Structure 1
Amino acid sequence: MTASLEQLRRCHFAVDLGAARTRVYVRGAGLVVDQPSVAAVNTRSGALIAVGDFAERMRGRTPAHIRVVRPVSGGTVVDIEMAQRMLRGLLGDRLRRALRRKPFLRAAACTPHEADPLARRAAVETLVGLGARRVELVDTLIAAAVGCGLPVQQPEATMIMACGTATTQVAVLSLGSTVSSERIPVGGEAVDHAIVQHLRHQHELMLPSQSVRPLHVALSGIGLTAQGPTSTEIRGRDVVTGLVRSVQVDTAAVREAIETPLTAVVDVIGRVLRECPPDLVADLVDRGIMLVGGSALLPGLDEMVRQATGMPVHIAERPDVCAVQGLGYMLEGRIEPLALGPIVI
C-alpha cells in the first residue's frame, strides 16, 4: 500500500479515475459520483458541453465541431486539464464548494499497480487542480481487495483479478502488500473489438459502438455456455448497402471469437502463480480467485478461468465499485492495521 492507513484516515474524499467510469467517495456522504469518464467539448470555442452520462450518449452522434473525449486510459490520466474539467463538472458547484471549505483538503486516488512516475504525477496534479493540498495514492488492487472484503492485512494469500476496460491486473496479496503481480493490456475493449470484428467478417454487419454492451447483456448468464440459447438477434448496419439489417448470431461462434483475448487473461494467472512461494499458493486452493472490475461480468469469463486453473472463482458482489469502496473503507477507518504482539526476548 503506497499510503498508510493513518494517512488515509485524514483524507476528505477519494477518487477512482477509471477508463470507463469515474467514481468519487466523500467521507461521511458515501459514493456521490459514479458516471462515465467522458467529456464533450466544442472545438470552436473550447467550451465544455457535457460530462458523464449525457456526454456518453453523444458519442458517435455529434457534428464535426463537437468532440467527445476520454481523458483517462487504462487507469492513467492522459489529459490532465480535461480530467480536471470533467471532474469539476461531475462534482457540481455545490459539492465542490463544500470540499473547498475543508481546512487543508486531502484526497486519495487509485493508481494501477507499478504505475510509472509520470502516471502517478498525473493523478496527483489532477486532484491538486481541484483544490487538494495533499494527495495519497493507493494501489488499485489493494483498494479493490479491501472493497470486496478480502483479508488483505492478514499473513495469508488472497488472489485478485481486476478486469478493467483497457487492462487486466492479476496479483497475489499478503500482509497488505503485493507478493506477485502482472498487468496486460487486454480488457473489456478487446472483447468488444473481437465481437465487432466477428460480426463484420461473418455477417457483413457493422455494430454501433453503443450496441456492444447491450449485446453483453443479451448473452449474459448462460448465454455463452453450452446450456445457453443457440442464437440471438442483433441489429446493425449492412457493410455493403448501408441499410439497417437484423441477423441471427450463433452464440457458439461468438464464444469462439472472444476466446482469443480471454486466453491471454488466463495465461497471466499461471505466470503470477509461478512467481509465488508454495505456502501462499496452497492458501489459494480453497480460497480461489476474486474477480473485480467492470469487465468481471463478461459472459463466460469466470467459467473459463475456473476450467483453466481448477481453482474456485468468485465475482465480487459489486465488482465495478470495489476499488472506490475500498478507498471509502480506509477513509472511514473501517480497516484496522495488523496488530503485532510485543516481542519477548
Structure 2
Amino acid sequence: MTISLERLRRCSIAVDLGAARTRVYLKRKGLIVDEPSVAAVNTRTGGLIAVGTLAERMTGRTPSHIRVVRPVSGGRVVDIAMAQRMLRFLVGNKLRRAWRRKPLVSAAVCVPYDADPLAERAAVETLTGLGARRVELVDSLVAAAVGCGLPVERPEATMIVVCGAATTQVAVLSLGSIVAAERVPVGGETIAHAVVQHVRNEHALMLPSQAIRPLHLALSGAGAAMDGTEVHGRDVATGLARSVQIDIEGIRAVVQTPLTGVLDAIGAVLRRCPPDLVADLAERGIMLAGGSAGLPGFEDLLRDATGMPLHIAEHPDTCAVEGLGAMLEGSVRPVILDPLSP
C-alpha cells in the first residue's frame, strides 16, 4: 500500500474530497456524509448560506451577491478555508465534539495519484483545520481498488480506471502498490461541456446545467426514446426560451471524441507494465469505478478498443471512501514480504 496499514487502523475518520462530491467515513459507523462539493456564499457578509445538495441546486440561479463555489477541483483542494467551512458544516456538531474529546484523533484522506506536495499539503491543512492532529495520505487509486474488492495485495495484476468529474485515472496494481499509472483531464464535466457546445453549435441554444442529466439517460437508452429527446434552453440570438429535439446519435458521436483520451492512457499504462502482468489483465479485465463510470458509451468503447473484459464496480461512486474505510477497519491484510531467514 502507499502507507502503513497499521497507521491507518489508528485513524478514526476517512475523507474523500472529490470534485463532484465529498464523502466522509466514520470508523465503526460507516458512511456518514455523501454530499456535493459545493458551497454558496454571501459575498456581502462572507457568510455561508448553503452547502451540499441545496447549494448545488442554486448553481446558475443566484443573484449577484450570492456566489456558488467549488473548493475542490480535480481531486485537489483549491480553497482551503472554504473546504474547511464546507466540511465543518457537513460533519455536524456531534462529530466535532467527539474530535475535541479526543485531541489525538487521526484522519485519512484520498489524494490523486500524481498529487504534488502543494496538493498534499492543502489536503492535510483542510483536515487539521477541523481538529485532526494527524492526517494520513492515501492514493485514491489504491483506495478505489480496495473498495471495488480487487485483490490488490496479491502478486497478480489488477487494472482500475477511476472516472471522476474532472479527471480519469488509470492504474495497474500488484502487491499493494501501483506498477504504472496515468491521469488524463477527461471526466463527466468534459462530456457535459462537449454536449453543451454541440447543442449550441447545431441548434443555437444554450443549455442549463440541469439539462445534461436527461441527455445522459437518453444516451444510455433509459428514460427517453432513442429517436430523440426534447430539451429546453435559451436562444443564443434572441435570449428567449426555446425547446428543440436533440438527435441522440449526434450526441453519441460527440461524446466518443473526448473519451478516446482514456484509451491513450490505458495504452500508455500497458506499455509500461511487464508482460506477465499484461497477461493477467487479458483474463481478469478492467474494473471501472468513479462517479462517471456510467458515462454513456464508455464501457462499450473500452471493450471494443482493448478486447479485454470490462467490469463496473457495484457502487462505483463510493469505491474510494469505502476502500479507505476497509483499511481503517482492518479488513485489508497485506502479503508479508519480510526477508527470508537462512
Query: Shorter chain as normaliser: what TM range?
Result: over 0.9
TM-superposed deviation, 1:266 = 1.2
Instruction: Please list, as runs of the form range in 1=range in 2, the aligned pairs for 1:1-345 lying within 5 A after superposition.
Output: 1-221=1-221, 229-340=226-337, 343=340, 345=342
Please list the CA deviations of residues 149-207 of structure 1 after superposition, one character each: whole Å capped at 9, or x if unmatched: 00000000000001011111101000010001111111111110000001011111111
- 3-state SS of paired residue (2:292): helix
Comparing 245-254 with 68-77, greater Cα deviation is found at 245-254
CA distance in 1, matches of 2:45, 2:113: 38
- 3-state SS of paired residue (2:182): strand
RMSD: 1.6
- 3-state SS of paired residue (1:326): helix
Aligned partners of 2:24 and 2:321 also within 8 Å: yes
Q: What letter corresponds to residue 299 of structure 1 in structure 2?
A: P
- 3-state SS of paired residue (1:334): coil
Q: What letter corresponds to residue 197 of structure 2 in structure 1?
A: Q
Aligned partners of 1:59 and 1:68 also within 8 Å: yes
Aligned partners of 1:223 and 1:251 also within 8 Å: no
Q: What letter corresponds to residue 196 of structure 1 in structure 2?
A: V
TM-superposed deviation, 1:61 = 0.6
Aligned partners of 1:11 and 1:108 also within 8 Å: yes
Aligned partners of 1:41 and 1:49 also within 8 Å: yes
Comparing 181-190 with 210-219, greater Cα deviation is found at 210-219
Q: What letter corresponds to residue 314 of structure 1 in structure 2?
A: H
> Structure 1: any 5+ residue segments left out of the alignment?
none
- 3-state SS of paired residue (1:297): coil
CA distance in 2, matches of 1:78, 1:342: 43
TM-superposed deviation, 1:210 = 2.3
- 3-state SS of paired residue (1:339): coil
Q: What letter corresponds to residue 106 of structure 2 in structure 1?
A: R
TM-superposed deviation, 1:248 = 1.6
- 3-state SS of paired residue (1:295): coil
TM-superposed deviation, 1:217 = 2.2
Aligned partners of 2:103 and 2:132 also within 8 Å: no
TM-superposed deviation, 1:6 = 0.5
TM-superposed deviation, 1:218 = 2.9
Aligned partners of 2:218 and 2:226 also within 8 Å: no
CA distance in 2, matches of 1:37, 1:270: 32
TM-superposed deviation, 1:241 = 2.4
CA distance in 2, matches of 1:96, 1:317: 32
TM-superposed deviation, 1:66 = 0.6
Aligned partners of 1:291 and 1:315 also within 8 Å: yes
TM-superposed deviation, 1:229 = 1.5
Comparing 304-313 with 88-97, greater Cα deviation is found at 88-97
TM-superposed deviation, 1:103 = 4.3
Q: What letter corresponds to residue 246 of structure 1 in structure 2?
A: S
Q: How high is the sequence identity, in percent, across the aligned residues? A: 70
CA distance in 2, matches of 1:328, 1:124: 18
> Structure 2: any 5+ residue segments left out of the alignment?
none
- 3-state SS of paired residue (2:314): coil
- 3-state SS of paired residue (1:296): coil
Q: What letter corresponds to residue 57 of structure 1 in structure 2?
A: R
Q: What letter corresponds to residue 134 of structure 2 in structure 1?
A: R
Aligned partners of 1:223 and 1:299 also within 8 Å: no
CA distance in 1, matches of 2:64, 2:242: 27
- 3-state SS of paired residue (1:197): helix
Q: TM-score, normalised by structure 1?
A: 0.96
CA distance in 1, matches of 2:278, 2:190: 29
